[in-house]
């Protein structure tokens, strides 16, 4: 059985990694060169209730997420609370380089970043969707990390807390910018992924499976292209200007308009055929997107029932 260690505090992280006591109870920066990992810890999954941002300058024997992935030079990883990391080989001090920033959600309490952090969807990306950095990008982020560490090892007060939070936001905003650059640099591959997503979506609608399976979720499509839901949605938005969810909704809406004007089905019947559990959900969805109810849409477009000649 796979061994899993659950960690609830910064102090516990330091204990598990055989490090000195932390300078701050809610945030820490760990130098990978300080890590010493014995053989018995190899393969053990460590699950924390904290956020983690980690830079791996080389293959340092650390693995992130629930599935295996090998990282090359200059890879930045983001994990949200209750995700995992583990060692893939024993480590001795000064064997590898890099850094790991851990911070507890409580550190963000009462700050502007507490609500805003959910907007950084890369915390939910899969390990193989990690951010690959250039040397200059690594230097920018490493300097911010140094500023964070210098600030929390001082005697903390309300001002230092604000300074750390501001640096955290700066780190996240730079990371977001670098991710967008990565999307652009991989534009050919990204176009292929988006095209595949659109083909799968159109096929789904053409097969009339909405009534059986309901409106498809982003997760269903993400699985088919081997990406996480957040990564696919961000990718589609970057390439097309709208999110994957909006793509799905737009095609369902197009199908609804077609059925309203070219079938004898009632509005309720169309709602069920489109995968809505209740007709009023469909009416609300349609009115939100078009501005009028399905019934009024038929009236405005001079709908007449289709006559079948026998």
How far apart, in Å, are the Cα atoms of 43 and each of 33, 96, 168, 209? 19, 18, 30, 42
Report the alpha-carbon distance of residue 9 to residue 184 in Å, rounded.
Answer: 38
Q: CB 260: neighbour CB atoms within 10 A?
A: 18
**Spatial distance between the Cα atoms of 136 and 105, rounded to a whole number of angstroms:** 29
Question: What's the pLDDT at 66?
Answer: 45
* pLDDT value of position 61: 56
Burial class (CB in 10 A: 0-12, 13-18, 19+), 24: buried
Q: In what order do the strands lie in the sheet with 84-87?
A: 4-7, 45-48, 84-87, 62-64
In sequence order, the β-bridge partners of residue 84 are 47
Interhelix angle 279-290/244-262, nearest 10 degrees: 110
- What are the residues facing 4 on neighbouring strands? 45
**Which pLDDT score is estimated for 26?**
93
Q: Say how far apart CA 59 and CA 74 lie, in whole Å.
A: 9
DSSP string, 94-142: TSS-EEEEEE-GGGGTTSTHHHHGGG-GGGGS-GGGPEE--HHHHHHHH
Q: What is the pLDDT of residue 57?
A: 63
Predicted pLDDT of residue 106: 93
At residue 137, the pLDDT reads 92
Q: Are 97 and 74 in contact (CB under 8 A)?
A: no
Q: How many CA atoms lie within 13 A of 87 on its CB side?
A: 18
Cα gap 266→271, rounded to integer Å:
9
**Extended strands (E) in the chain:** 4-7, 27-31, 45-48, 51-56, 62-64, 75-79, 84-87, 98-103, 131-132
Please give the DSSP secondary-structure letter assigned to residue 129: G
Q: Mean pLDDT, consecutive 10-residue segments, the chain of 310 residues? A: 82 88 93 82 83 76 53 77 79 81 92 90 82 90 94 79 93 91 69 77 70 80 83 83 84 88 89 88 92 90 64
Set out the domains of the chain in order of their start, with CATH numbers.
Answer: 4-185 (2.60.120), 188-300 (1.10.10.60)
241-288 per-position pLDDT tens digit: 888 888 888 888 888 998 898 888 899 999 988 888 889 999 999 999
Residue 191 CB contacts under 8 Å (≥ 6 apart), including other chains: 239
Handedness of CA 26, 31, 32, 33 (dihedral sign): negative
CA distance 3 to 189: 37
Model pLDDT, residue 70? 47
Please state the pTM of the whole predicted model: 0.72
């Amino acid at each position: 059985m796979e061994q899993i260690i659950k960690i609830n505090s910064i102090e516990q992280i330091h204990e598990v990694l055989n490090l000195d006591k932390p300078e701050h109870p809610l945030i820490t920066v760990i130098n990978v060169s300080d890590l010493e990992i014995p053989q018995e810890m190899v393969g053990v999954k460590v699950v924390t209730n904290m956020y983690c941002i980690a830079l791996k300058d080389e293959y340092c024997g650390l693995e992130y997420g629930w599935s295996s992935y090998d990282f090359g030079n200059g890879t930045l990883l983001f994990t949200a609370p209750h995700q995992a990391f583990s060692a893939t080989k024993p480590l001795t001090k000064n064997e590898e380089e890099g850094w790991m920033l851990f911070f507890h959600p409580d550190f963000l309490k009462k700050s502007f970043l507490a609500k805003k952090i959910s907007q950084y969807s890369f915390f939910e990306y899969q390990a193989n969707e990690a951010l690959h950095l250039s040397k200059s990008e690594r230097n920018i982020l490493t300097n911010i990390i140094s500023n964070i560490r210098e600030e929390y090892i001082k005697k903390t007060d309300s001002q230092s807390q604000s300074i750390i939070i501001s640096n955290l936001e700066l780190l996240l905003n730079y990371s977001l910018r670098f991710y967008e650059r990565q999307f652009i640099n991989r534009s050919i591959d990204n176009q292929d992924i988006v095209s595949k997503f659109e083909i799968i979506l159109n096929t789904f609608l053409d097969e009339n499976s909405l009534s059986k399976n309901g409106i498809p979720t982003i997760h269903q499509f993400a699985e088919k292209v081997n990406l996480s839901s957040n990564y696919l949605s961000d990718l589609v938005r970057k390439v097309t200007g709208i999110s994957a969810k909006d793509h799905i909704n737009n095609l369902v809406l197009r199908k609804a308009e077609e059925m309203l004007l070219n079938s004898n089905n009632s509005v309720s019947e169309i709602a069920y055929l489109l995968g809505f559990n209740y007709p009023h959900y469909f009416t609300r969805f349609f009115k939100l997107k078009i501005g009028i109810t399905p019934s009024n849409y038929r009236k405005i477009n001079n709908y007449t029932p289709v006559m079948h000649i026998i």
